[in-house]
Amino acid sequence: MTLMQTRRRFLRTLSLAGTAGLGLAPRAFATEGPLETTTVRISNDLAICEAPLKIAEELLRAEGFTDVRYADTTSVDVSAAIAQRKVDFALDFPVFFAPGIDTGKPITVLAGVHVGCFELFAGKDVRTIADLKDKTVGFEIAPAGLLRLMVAQVGLDPDKDIRWVTDPSVKPLELFVEGKIDAFAGFPPEPQQLRARNKPPTTHSALFISRSRVPRSRKNSIVQ
């Protein structure tokens, strides 16, 4: 009979192996009781970041959840969906959860997942976030919250020190490529699209900035 490896079984085995390596006698584990529910609802906003939630389905079924449901939501609605008990688990950008938590909504952040979604592309005269003062910054998909927090952290006023270009109809990404704005905050697939236009690709790393040349009127940098 094939034995399916569950997360709890894996962690239990790993724990036993660790205590054996330390020369400690492993303690007996309490018998795990039945699940309180066999149904779990997970948000699905169709973003590329949601892949781990899809992979988790098999693990959840192995744990005893026989009814795994996915509820279509948008990123801006995820926090409310959790607070209103429309979904049980969700994966999203922390800025979207903060307001609900601050107002006492029943939201619990369990763990971080990964980094690297967002990238800030900027002109060659921008080497730090502080250099964005009096600059024009555009974005289309990326939420403004992250960059506003970053500029505020270095002492800039996001309302007074930055000129924002957010109207999708003016195509901020193209404006950046054409050199008409100073920076662009990208979210996949936008960073990949910009890199695909590198001819030839050259990079130079300095602190959190890596530079690359894009076919436009001036060189760009990528603030990661």
Inter-residue contact 120 to 220 (CB < 8 Å): no
DSSP alpha helices (H): ranges in the chain?
7-22, 51-63, 78-83, 94-102, 144-153, 172-177, 190-195
Which is more confident, 159 or 32?
159
Inter-residue contact 100 to 80 (CB < 8 Å): yes
Q: How confident is the model at residue 156 (pLDDT cuts 50, 70, 90)?
A: very high
For helices 51-63 and 7-22, what crossing angle results, to 10°?
A: 80
Q: How confident is the model at residue 130 (pLDDT cuts 50, 70, 90)?
A: very high
Cβ atoms < 10 Å from Cβ of 140: 18
Alpha-carbon span 221 to 224, nearest angstrom: 10
Which is more confident, 76 or 9?
76
Q: How confident is the model at residue 158 (pLDDT cuts 50, 70, 90)?
A: very high
Q: What pTM, to 2 d.p., does this model score? A: 0.61
Q: Is the pLDDT of residue 205 over 90?
A: no
In the numeric block, which tokens belong to residue 150? 């970053």
* C-alpha 47 chain-centroid distance: 10
| Burial zone of 168 (CB within 10 Å; 0-12 exposed, 13-18 middle, 19+ buried) | exposed
Region 58-64: mean pLDDT is 90
Inter-residue contact 25 to 80 (CB < 8 Å): no
Q: How confident is the model at residue 172 (pLDDT cuts 50, 70, 90)?
A: very high
Comparing C-alpha atoms, which of 78, 6, 7, 66 is closest to residue 42?
78
Q: Which long-range contacts (CB under 8 A, 24 or more apart) does 156-161 make?
A: 156/129, 156/130, 156/132, 161/132, 161/133, 161/134
For 1-58, the pLDDT digits (tens) are 444 555 555 445 544 444 444 444 444 444 567 888 899 999 887 777 777 788 888 8
Residues facing residue 120 across a β-bridge = 185, 223
Average pLDDT along the chain:
75
Q: How confident is the model at residue 181 (pLDDT cuts 50, 70, 90)?
A: very high
Q: What is the pLDDT of residue 224?
A: 37
Q: How confident is the model at residue 131 (pLDDT cuts 50, 70, 90)?
A: very high
Cis peptide leading into 34, omega within 30 of 0?
no
